[in-house]
Structure 1
């Protein structure tokens, strides 16, 4: 995988803004309607993944080839936009700001995510409640294939990158093992939960939905989406917007300067999330109910391993993620590389 070139340290801030402005104009001009439809579809895939606790929309963005563009676009939102606006002023300045933040790309992606949340939240909630083995098997295959694909993208393994990869695994496993909170969430608490969850959603392998689950806010948010409770929805969205703007600038810098090391860490996050998406789960009594969160061996699963169905769904998840990765590589325009 590749990443965009980082600004040169000897260039003045105004020069950096000018370079970013020119790059944004080229990027916006190069997007065809077909490419924007592709971004919308990838947004739908991200939204579907984010609904499931244990699966990250950032994982989908990474394998589909839009992760760096997403981080760069969000990371460009800041005080420098005022300088971009002042260069032209008026309507031209607004257009320049729109291009600077790659807003057409972000809008298409957001529409895809919102579409998934509006149309799939109820379906996925039903599957999680009634057919957990099936949906977890599908996503387990998806995550395994993702890890294998991303490992092949890491060049020149060294001790530092291996340590980062292992650190990512340990962090994700630790997060997945934390006890769930069961507090009744207030609106300020939901704002806070949304801010924390969106940071996780951006990180591949760290599930924003699972963070909401840990904080005791997942069911409240899912029910709000299902019933169109606008006060809860807008509160969570405001928290997400706040967390997103604060978090992505640091991640953008890491991807620009230490791409391979950051990719090793992110891949570790994804590998560690396999603990959370393991299909065969039971409750504390070894039975199946809505509290089934403890992993067991397939042959210890109360209803049997269901090898044919589970392995078929894992294979389907792996095939789909491989196709998404292939699509991402072929739809991505050539960029410079960073180590």
Structure 2
């Protein structure tokens, strides 16, 4: 690959990392619409026993080719850059500008779902049923109440394994799964403070989870492509319940800094939000940012199509 191709892959990884930091938005969605989803799953799946044999026998060049190392390295570098640089920023924006941020992501997810729908070759009974199941599961996840859980090493590792599986599923947010598990604030704090022991335990769990799960997902995409993609689209639409910008807080909790944080929220209309909170609903700003998010996805898709056409001509 040429330098501009590595750069583009890294930028796509950055976009995935940005999405993974936000509860309600999936890095898998970004991978899907940017055209690298299936290659990403297959590359992760290639980290298997054969790869380990090549590595431990020091056949490093063969190992690198076997795991599609250039591709994985570029994407993972982008994800890491975003997560470490944006963890504090996203926490700040979600705290101080929630309506603007959630409106932007609402438009982003709607556009993503419409683009994913194009990937379904044939809408039959199985595809439609799979889509409905995807919507129902994602909706249930968004209305489930976050749990109070321990900070022990084994639960942090388990959280990493579960969250990373969600992170590569379009529409299912790994960050939101962490929120449900009661570990979002804990992990974001660890990243922000560069707490190496906690991050290492979480990464080990994530590595085990993603390698195991990628085999199942790859098999489903190859043998049940339309049914699987329809369910992924359902995940996206079902997750819209989480990113609705106007919320009524019904339960709160104290975080590690003693600050009051929302625990359980319900969606309300902008007028109801103003009556409950006595705050401006920022409706005009929300609509504009929703449209910007929607158009951004199509811009990314057009850019991706242009790059693929250019690559085809070069080959």
Q: 1: CA distance between counterparts of 2:244 and 2:52? A: 47
What's 2:87 paired with? 121
Output the CA distance in 1 between the equivalents of 2:306 and 2:51.
31
Match of 1:249 among 215, 219, 227: 215
Deviation digits for residues 57-102 of structure 1 (CA, Å, limit 9, x no counterpart): 000000000000100100111123367x49xx976x3212211111
1:73 to 23, 32, 43: 43
| TM-score normalised by structure 2 residue count | 0.90
Out of 33, 40, 49, the position equivalent to 1:63 is 33
Deviation string for 1:81-140 (max 9, x for gaps)?
A: 367x49xx976x321221111111111111111111111111110011111111101100
* Partner residue in 2 for 1:311: 287
Q: Give the equivalent residue in structure 1 for 2:301.
A: 325
Candidates 249, 267, 276, aligned match of 1:295: 267
Matches within 5 A, 1:270-289: 270-284=236-250
Corresponding residue for residue 44 of structure 1? 14
CA distance in 1, matches of 2:306, 2:223: 24
Q: CA deviation at 1:328?
A: 2.5
Question: Which stretches of structure 1, 4 residues or more, deviate above 4 A after TM superposition?
Answer: none
> CA-atom RMSD, angstroms?
2.0
Are the equivalent residues in 2 in contact too, given 1:185–1:216 (CA < 8 A)? no
Aligned pair count reads 298
Q: Does 1:166 align with 2:132?
A: yes
Deviations 1:252-307, CA, capped at 9 Å, x for gaps: 11111222221111111111100011111120189xx7316211112211224322
Gaps of at least 5 residues in structure 1 are 1-30, 335-339
Is 2:234 the counterpart of 1:263? no
Distance in 1 between residues matched to 2:271 and 2:110, nearest whole Å: 21
Determine the C-alpha separation between the residues in 1 that align with 2:283 and 2:191. 34
Q: SS where residue 248 of structure 1 aligns? A: helix
Report matched runs for 1:117-266 at 5 Å. 117-266=83-232
Structure 1 residue 230, shift from structure 2 partner: 0.7
8 A contact 1:168–1:266 mirrored in 2: yes
- Distance of 1:285 and 1:195 partners within structure 2: 28
Quote the Cα distance in structure 2 between the aligned partners of 1:208 and 1:285: 22
Distance 2:207 2:227 in 1: 27
Say whether the 8 Å CA contact 1:181–1:216 is kept in structure 2: yes
Structure 2 unpaired stretches of 5+: 253-259
SS of match in other structure, 1:301: helix
Contact 1:74-1:101 at 8 Å conserved across structures: yes
Check 1:43–1:82 CA distance in 2 against 1; reply closer, same or farther (3 A cut): closer
3-state SS of 1:283 partner: strand
- Mapped partners of 2:8, 2:62: distance in 1: 24
Check conservation: 2:251, 2:265, Cα contact below 8 A: no
Secondary structure in 2 matching 1:164: helix
